[in-house]
Structure 1
Amino acid sequence: MASIVRPPLPYGKACATCARAKCRCVPRSVGGRCERCYRLGKECRFPEGRRKVRSLSKSVQIEQKLDGLMMLLTSGRTGLPTPTPLPADAEAETESEQENEDNQADEEALYAFRTQRLQFLPLIHIPATTTAQNLKQQSPFLWHCISAVESKNTSRQAALCVTIRELAGKQLLVDCNKSLDLLQGVLVYLAWVTFHSQPQKSSLCIYAQMAMGLVFELGFNKPAPPDLSMTISNSNAVGHMPGLKASISTRRTMNERRAVLSCYVLTSIIAQFLGRMDPLRWTPHMRECLDILTKSGESPGDGVLVQITRTRLLADQILQGPWSEGVYGPHPTQALAAFHLKAFESRFETIKAEIPLPLADNKPILFHLYDTQTSLYEVALVNPPADEEMSSQRLGHLYACLHVVRQFFDLFFTISPAEYTSLALPYLTQISHCLVTLFRLSTLDYPGWDKATVRGTVDLLDVANQIATRMGQVAAAVGMHGEEAECDPFSKLGLMMQKLGGEWAVRLPEYTGVEPDHGAGEVLPLSSVELGDLESFLRWSEMAWLTDGTGVGGSRPNLSNACS
């Protein structure tokens, strides 16, 4: 028998729940609650006095639509009146709620960037009182870069990366704009965005040059001039052309000082990494900026940036010596003189001793210390002359290098996979640096050098497997699934490390005890792994030389071999 459709109560007579939802209030034949309140388990009461017209919340709107659909299904008829259309004020409320949700997401992104990313590389100070809306207005290009870094959606992140490159090209090359906002955005791009950029081109060198060009144009590497007429670039224009503003400021801000020091750190690391550019040249004014930040109490990150900068200055001094040319070259060069080594060791110990006690266990600082110390002792890997006898001093340096590499990876494995997403470019290059050094130590043939001791101290394959496993856990740790997880750059990096470890196991039987299967065919190169765009950034395919079994005698393209 067809169900009986009862007429709804007239306007003004509906129960409070149905009236608030602007739904039909149909009484039940047995009395008590109306049909809707009975079905939803809600309290059914009638208001006293005139019903107040109230705008609908988003949840009520959805509930209203579901009620209408339910009525159609239960009645078996399609001719019932449709639910009441949303009033104009309800549509406005919906838009307002969406705007509030977007603002909340922006605030969460800014908070994550300020509290997580900047702890590894504090290149800017963003006060806790600064809202996302404030930052959008004050530094729009920087905000675009932060949004790209913090985006959890792969497709949106890819679109933001394209937007960043287009904006950078237009503002820097077309409009010739120069501002702190642009410089800070380029630094964020170098530090984090490059790892997620789609497609990943060989852009590190180009954007590093952009950052240095902005520093020169803005004059951040020199003291601020007391008057604009004293600036060479503006002396013929400012004051003579109405509306023309000088790009060089007459008062140096703290964020300008942070920017120039961060530019030095990043370009120094990229220069070492790529081997085809020079870093930002250190100047007396930059030393002054370093001293001011040392005494600054404005941001906790200033102390970290100061220590990273001081350590990087020592690393540059080590790498600029003639001995470094032989570390990765096919031909032997002069070894690090004993007096140079002792001077560098003394300087290194001074830097460590001057680290404030609250920062003694700071992981970003320790990473840079270990990487710099590795650069100091790896000069012992320079090919010795054929007539050189075993040197106890060289052996001591080799074992010191091995100990530092172990400290680096022990520290790295204390970081959870979820925290890997906050790692900036310097730490990815340091992983590559220490892996390369460990391989060379593990395959070195030198009188008195014990490869078994190397394996017992820090096992190359175990390190590679741990990195591969932990990189593969990043996506799940941050809540990524499906296609999002497959596009995750850390998952791809894990696959590369897994492939590299497998090739090491086959190519180095004397190291692993694995007998090579000569009938199994040639081992496929690293590029055979489907790595997508990430291979352009982390150029682990260039590390195929590691699997040649040539040891120290093999040539190495650059210190990086992981990024371009």
Structure 2
Amino acid sequence: METADTRQGSAPYGKACTNCVKAKCRCVVRDAGTCDRCQRLGKNCTPSTTVRTRNSRRTPSSKNSALEEKLNDIVSLLRNQTNANPARTTEAMPTPGSSELSPSDDALEDERELHLTEEELLVFREHHLPYFPLMNVPSDVTAAEVQREKPTLGLAIKTLTTKVAAKQAALGRNLREVLTQKILIDGERSLPLLLSLLVSITWSLSFTHGKPFLGVMIGLARPLISDLKLDRGPNSVRCPGSNPPHLIDNEENSIQTNAGRRAYIACFALSVIVSTTMKYDAMRWSSQLESACCILSAHSEVEGDRILVALARLSKVALEAGDVYRQVSDDPDTTVHPAFSIAPLKCSLKQTKDSLTSEQLQHSSVITYMYAAEAAIYELALLQPTTLLMHYCDHNQKRIEYLTGLLQTCKACTEHFLAFDLSRITAPLMIMFGYSVKLFYCLLTLQNRGWDTALARLTMDPIVVFERAIQHCENTNNVLKLETGEDSVFKQAAETMRATAPRWRVPAEQDTTSLHLDSLTSGIDFGVIDLPSLEFSDDFWLNGVGSF
């Protein structure tokens, strides 16, 4: 263990060594003249020549001189960085595949670790993409082509297919830096960039975790849809006349393809699933989205196109149920009981299911979205009435039927998750599992006339579900560890659930007999039997240190 006198503290501003400046790390100076990081990594610690200039009143000529000095400092710093590590001089040269991607983590010291391999592209194409077909990667497309033409997308695919947890976390951090730089700082707008975002959202467990990440990434993807004009048809209303030649948007014609339609539909489906479970605002259904679904169905290029359209159709029903939820939440004095909307919504869901083929209905993601739509519909029965008229409706036998339907949907969704191959898991199934357990907990603690909590407890126990999920994660980690020799992200997932599970223990029935429906009006959202201290989406799936 190091003693306190071996360190002098952080280097002053502008005095960090070249290695720490390059890695954007804090430079902790030692008495020996080296810093902690360089000694730990066995590198030559070369002090930076950058000099910080103090603010003072300058004449215009002195300002020009100061600017020249700053430029000279930057040139000197770049030269020092090159001389400090000559072995990587050639890697630092800008190339089409690497100029925008640079390692920023100790786990990625070799820039070649950022390059997509043929094996990783094959795993993405055959093992991940079929479960959420947001894009088409033809079999004749090589990893080198993806790396050269779409480097950010290549990095996203590599992050997803990496099985070692430490390396995957480093790649995820690097990808977030690239996306932030391109979208927020450089203002880049392109279809490959949008697809990179959608890959990060769809398989969020492999990138970073938690409610904030999904919300931020969806928030970044939605403006790209509009900026790329994916939500506008070829006959959309425009200003009369013609644009000047230099303002002709040639990219629009290339975007109005099946590739653009897939991205548009996938973004809508992901937005709705996040909105349903986390109560964020979702993308709206539009005539252009309807047109994209019809065209993709009629001119599908791969089997996944019809699956993607089915997800959008089911998402539309879930969105309609969410609109009722938000309307009642925003207007607690409404005279229409939300349960009255359940029957027409169920009819709409049935019509959507009837329009799907048997192959679509058997797809795992379609099953997940059916459960999401059912949960969004039946969840309306949990909303509490506030007027006398609505109190009368509350005791209707239909409401008990709807609560029972919600109970069965939650159980079916958790069983679907526990039977799924977790190495192929997508964000929709991941968050629907958590949301189902949360709703199930509400039903187990709901005290209302006609609702039998004892019978509900016989249906499913959250603690037992957690134990099975923990075992499922550990088994998946063991399989992956046989291939890599190191733990995967599922090892941490199992540990997180093991620490979280005790919070979801259902109180003894005698402890909840006094919890009548009218006494639970202080939930997070209007009328929902909710427990803020047990917000599932905030603490599940590794939402801790290192999260976005």
What is the TM-score of this pair, normalised by structure 2? 0.67
Structure with higher Rg: it is 1
1:479–1:338: structure 2 CA closer, same or farther, 3 Å change rule?
closer
Identity %: 21
Deviations 1:158-201 (A, max 9, x none): 33223222222232233322211111111111222x42336989
Q: Is the 8 A contact 1:273 1:559 kept in 2?
A: no
Q: Is the 8 A contact 2:333 2:387 kept in 1?
A: no
Instruction: Name the SS for the 1:452 alignment partner.
Output: helix
Which of the numbers 174, 190, 193 marks the counterpart of 1:182?
Answer: 193
Counterpart residue type for residue 207 of structure 2: S
Counterpart residue type for residue 308 of structure 1: L
Q: Is the 8 A contact 2:417 2:430 kept in 1?
A: no
Deviations 1:468-509 (A, max 9, x none): 221222211222699942xx433333233333332344x613
Which of the numbers 293, 297, 303 marks the counterpart of 1:294?
Answer: 297
Q: Is the 8 A contact 1:330 1:553 kept in 2?
A: no
Counterpart residue type for residue 489 of structure 2: P
Deviations 1:328-368 (A, max 9, x none): x9979766456532211111111111111222322211111
Structure 2 counterpart of 1:465:
467
Quote the Cα distance in structure 2 between the aligned partners of 1:462 and 1:292: 45
Structure 2 counterpart of 1:257:
261
1:279–1:480: structure 2 CA closer, same or farther, 3 Å change rule?
farther
Q: Is the 8 A contact 1:402 1:454 kept in 2?
A: yes
Aligned ranges 1:65-144 → 2 under 5 Å? 106-144=117-155
1:455 aligns with 2:457: yes
What is the TM-score of this pair, normalised by structure 1? 0.65
Instruction: Name the SS for the 2:285 alignment partner.
Output: coil
Counterpart residue type for residue 170 of structure 2: A
1:268 aligns with 2:275: no
Q: Is the 8 A contact 1:323 1:335 kept in 2?
A: no
Quote the Cα distance in structure 2 between the aligned partners of 1:215 and 1:149: 23
Q: Is the 8 A contact 1:204 1:270 kept in 2?
A: yes
1:206–1:104: structure 2 CA closer, same or farther, 3 Å change rule?
closer
Quote the Cα distance in structure 1 between the aligned partners of 2:439 and 2:209: 30
Q: Is the 8 A contact 2:115 2:158 kept in 1?
A: no
Deviations 1:74-119 (A, max 9, x none): xxxxxxxxxxxxxxxxxxxxxxxxxxx9999822211111122112
Counterpart residue type for residue 354 of structure 2: A
Instruction: Name the SS for the 2:447 alignment partner.
Output: coil
1:317 aligns with 2:317: no
1:187–1:102: structure 2 CA closer, same or farther, 3 Å change rule?
closer
Structure 2 counterpart of 1:403:
408
Measured after TM superposition, the shift of residue 371 of structure 1 is 1.7
Instruction: Name the SS for the 1:239 alignment partner.
Output: helix
Quote the Cα distance in structure 1 between the aligned partners of 2:239 and 2:118: 39
Q: Is the 8 A contact 1:178 1:247 kept in 2?
A: no
Quote the Cα distance in structure 2 between the aligned partners of 1:554 and 1:109: 42
Q: Is the 8 A contact 1:373 1:404 kept in 2?
A: yes
1:508 aligns with 2:503: no
Measured after TM superposition, the shift of residue 385 of structure 1 is 4.7
Q: Is the 8 A contact 2:160 2:207 kept in 1?
A: no
Deviations 1:500-524 (A, max 9, x none): 332344x6133899xxxxxxxxxxx
RMSD over aligned Cα, in angstroms?
3.7
Structure 1 counterpart of 2:430:
428
1:497 aligns with 2:497: yes
1:165 aligns with 2:176: yes
Counterpart residue type for residue 260 of structure 1: Y
Structure 1 counterpart of 2:219:
209
1:305 aligns with 2:308: yes
Quote the Cα distance in structure 1 between the aligned partners of 2:463 and 2:317: 31
Deviations 1:20-44 (A, max 9, x none): xxxxxxxxxxxxxxxxxxxxxxxxx
Quote the Cα distance in structure 2 between the aligned partners of 1:368 and 1:511: 36
Quote the Cα distance in structure 2 between the aligned partners of 1:122 and 1:197: 18
Aligned ranges 1:344-383 → 2 under 5 Å? 344-383=345-384
Quote the Cα distance in structure 2 between the aligned partners of 1:288 and 1:199: 33
Aligned ranges 1:22-37 → 2 under 5 Å? none
Q: Which runs of 5+ in 1 are unaligned?
A: 1-100, 514-544
Quote the Cα distance in structure 2 between the aligned partners of 1:391 and 1:197: 46
Deviations 1:511-557 (A, max 9, x none): 899xxxxxxxxxxxxxxxxxxxxxxxxxxxxxxx99xxx99375589
Q: Is the 8 A contact 1:145 1:189 kept in 2?
A: yes
Structure 2 counterpart of 1:220:
230
Measured after TM superposition, the shift of residue 460 of structure 1 is 2.6
Quote the Cα distance in structure 2 between the aligned partners of 1:250 and 1:496: 45
Counterpart residue type for residue 446 of structure 1: N
Quote the Cα distance in structure 1 between the aligned partners of 2:479 and 2:209: 25
1:357–1:393: structure 2 CA closer, same or farther, 3 Å change rule?
same
